[in-house]
Structure 1
């Protein structure tokens, strides 16, 4: 975290990193849900869906795509997202409200 916030530009860089981490988290959760329904679907269908379900960030990591238990990875990324979100909120209290409700601004 310190590497991203101190050495590489603080708030603006942290925002970019947290948005990438959120996308990564969405992909990991989608793969995790696919693993849960895997038992009820034909393997060919699951393999086809698995590769189309995620972004390139995840797709290039074959170990993650084929993993049966993504819980540790999900928890790790969730922790990183939370840490970055707290940093961003502390650095600029107006950022999250402006991002989530841009109509006012």
Structure 2
């Protein structure tokens, strides 16, 4: 009986630990921009959202370039590389985003 109880407690502890890891996706700040216009990616035609992680660009799935403002504005993805806080994973050479939050651009203060 003592062995069964010990085995049960170990199983519950391991299961809770695995569940905790599963529920907390890694969040990181990355460079985000148009893959074609700013990162020189040629796999697709047109303008598509991409992120650069550890110096390598990946097209993004789970959100699109048009969901984050006018891509062709002066600070849009086709004209600027922005910072974004993202979570997700790289699968088949694409970043599958579970969250994507564009961070504010830094503006120079006028004196």
Q: Which structure is higher in strand share?
A: 2
Provide TM-score, normalisation by structure 1: 0.27
Provide TM-score, normalisation by structure 2: 0.26
Between structure 1 and structure 2, the one with the greater Rg is: 2
Q: Which structure is higher in helix share?
A: 1
Higher relative contact order (CA 8 A, sep 6+): 1
